[in-house]
Each structure stands twice: as C-alpha cells, then as structure tokens.
C-alpha cells in the first residue's frame, strides 16, 4: 500500500479487510473495522487488539467516517490557525505513513515467511529427489543383478532340461530292454514247463514200475557201495535229470524233440522186459 492509496486495512490480526464506511482509530495509530472496533474497543478498560496498549483517555478512541461529505471537509479545520492546521495535517500524515510502514513490514514478514517455506520445501524436494535418485540407482543395480541371476537360472534350467531329456531317453531305452527281457523270460518259462512235464511223467512211471517189480531195480556193484560220488560226475541212469542249459527260443523245438525221442525208448523198454521174464 502506497501513500496515494485510498484504502486502509483492518489491523485486527485475523481480519485485515479493506475499510469502507466507518473505522475506529486509536491513539496508538491503529485502525479497525466497524465490527471489531465496536466489539473490542467498547470494553472498559479498552485495550488495543493490535499492540495491547491501554486506551484510557477520552480521545484515545475515535470513530471516523472514511468518506466525509464536502461540508465536513469545509468546516472541520475552519477557523484554526495555519500552524494548528499544519500540525493536525502532519499528525494525520504520520498516522497514514505509520499504517503504510506497518503494512509494508507485514508484507515483508509474509514474504520472508513464504520464502522460508519455499526454501524449506525446496530443501525437502531436493532431499526427496536425492533419495529417489538413490533408490532408483539401487533399483537399477538390483535389476541388473536380478537379470544376471535370471540368466544363470535360465542357463541352469536349460542344462537341467537337457539332463532330464537324456534321462527320459535312457529310461525309455531301459524300459524297452526290460519289456524285451520280460517277454523273453516268459517264453523261456513256457518252454521249460513244456519240457518238464514229460520228464515228470517218465519219473512217475518209472517209480511206479519199480515198486511193482522190485527185482528190476538196477544192481550196484559190490566194490562201489561205499564210495562217494565225485563232485561234478553225471548220473548213469537214463532217468536222471540232465543239467539245464539255456537255449534260444529258436533251438527249443529241436531240444524238445531230442528230449522226447531220448525218453521214449525207456518208456517202451518197460513192458518188453516184463514179457521176457
């Protein structure tokens, strides 16, 4: 507010509105709006709300019209000596300059306060930006490390996948070998059963024949009764079981024919001996 401005502001701390109409003026060079002046300055004793000064004098508080009429302007200083008029004018100008100075100081205070807040906010913003930059750099480093770890895991995953595929191929190969061996053992077991059935029949027949005719049992020489049989020696009896020899499925029919032809003469020889005796 400059000297040429025609408006004053209420000096009440929480008001500060532009004055118009009527205003309350104090001896301590403060001015208030009609609302706060009539409310605060009507107490006894009156105390200035701006500076806290006691206003006990009769002329310490005055209610002024801010836009006086032309008649008031013509009569307010009429009849006074020039020195009194100049004194009154100088005091009125001092009041106005004081208000301008106080307003200037108030605005400077607000400006300095705002600048301090701005500096504080800039400092906080700078700190936040620095912390964000540090966080961003840390996150970038973490991203780089995570990418390296991910590449390592991808490499390990590819290696493990290759190993797993190799193990699966080996497992399939072993499963095929196991199935072929299982099928081969089933075929060999079926062939052994076909061979063992006539041998068991011949044994049963020979045992029953010897029980019916005990004189037909083979005679053992006297010199060989107490001798132990050497290890690995084969039995001379035609009915003794022969050692089992593994053979391929292609040779089994030939072996079966040979074993059956070797056993049939022994079967036929039994009834002929009984007829001669």
Give the pLDDT confidence score for residue 167 in this predicted structure: 93
Encode pLDDT of 16-26 as tens digits: 899 988 999 99
User: Which residues, in sequence order, are bridge partners of residue 63?
Assistant: 24
Please provide the average confidence, as pLDDT, over all residues in the chain. 77
Among the ranges 41-50, 130-139, 263-272, which has the highest mean pLDDT value? Answer: 130-139
Omega into 45 within 30° of 0, i.e. cis?
A: yes
- pLDDT, one tens digit per residue, over 148-181 is 999 999 999 999 999 999 999 999 999 999 999 9
Residue 255 has pLDDT above 60, yes or no: no
Residue 46's pLDDT is what? 85
Has residue 236 got a pLDDT over 50?
A: no
pLDDT at residue 187, as a whole number: 84
In which band, very low, low, confident or very high, does the pLDDT at 124 lie, cut at 50, 70 and 90?
very high
Q: Out of 2-11, 157-166, 224-233, pick the least confident.
A: 224-233
Quote the DSSP letter at residue 9.
Answer: B
Domains in the chain with CATH codes: 7-67 (3.30.40)
Tokens of 43: 């107490």
Residue 55: its pLDDT value, please? 87
DSSP string, 132-198: HHHHHHHHHHHHHHHHHHHHHHHHHHHHHHHHHHHHHHHHHHHHHHHHHHHHHHHHHHHHHHHHHHH
Q: Which pLDDT score is estimated for 5?
A: 56
Two structure tokens written together for 212: 């019916």
Provide the pLDDT for residue 277: 34
User: Using one digit for the tens of pLDDT, what is the confidence trace for 263-275?
Assistant: 444 444 444 444 4
């Amino acid at each position: 507010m400059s000297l040429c401005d025609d408006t004053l502001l209420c000096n009440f701390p929480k008001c500060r509105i532009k004055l118009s109409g009527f205003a309350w003026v104090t001896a301590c060079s403060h001015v208030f709006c009609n609302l706060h002046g009539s409310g605060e300055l009507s107490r006894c004793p009156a105390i200035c709300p701006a500076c806290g000064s006691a206003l006990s004098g009769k002329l310490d508080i005055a209610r002024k019209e801010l836009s006086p009429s032309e008649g008031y302007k013509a009569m307010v200083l009429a009849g006074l000596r020039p020195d009194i008029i100049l004194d009154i004018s100088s005091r009125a100008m001092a009041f106005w300059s004081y208000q301008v100075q106080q307003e200037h100081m108030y605005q400077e205070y607000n400006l300095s306060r705002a600048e301090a807040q701005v500096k504080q906010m800039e400092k906080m913003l700078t700190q936040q930006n620095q912390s964000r930059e540090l966080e961003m750099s840390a996150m970038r480093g973490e991203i780089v490390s995570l990418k390296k770890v991910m590449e390592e895991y991808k490499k390990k995953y590819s290696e493990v996948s290759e190993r797993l595929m190799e193990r699966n191929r080996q497992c399939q190969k072993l499963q095929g070998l196991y199935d072929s061996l299982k099928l081969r053992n089933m075929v060999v077991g079926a062939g052994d059963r076909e061979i063992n059935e006539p041998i068991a029949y011949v044994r049963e027949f020979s045992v029953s024949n010897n029980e019916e005719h005990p004189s037909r049992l083979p005679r053992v020489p006297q010199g060989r009764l107490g001798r132990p049989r050497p290890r690995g020696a084969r039995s001379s009896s035609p009915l003794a079981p022969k050692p089992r020899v593994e053979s391929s499925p292609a040779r089994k029919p030939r072996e079966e024919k040979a074993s059956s032809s070797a056993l049939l003469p022994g079967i036929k020889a039994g009834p002929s001996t009984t007829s001669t005796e």
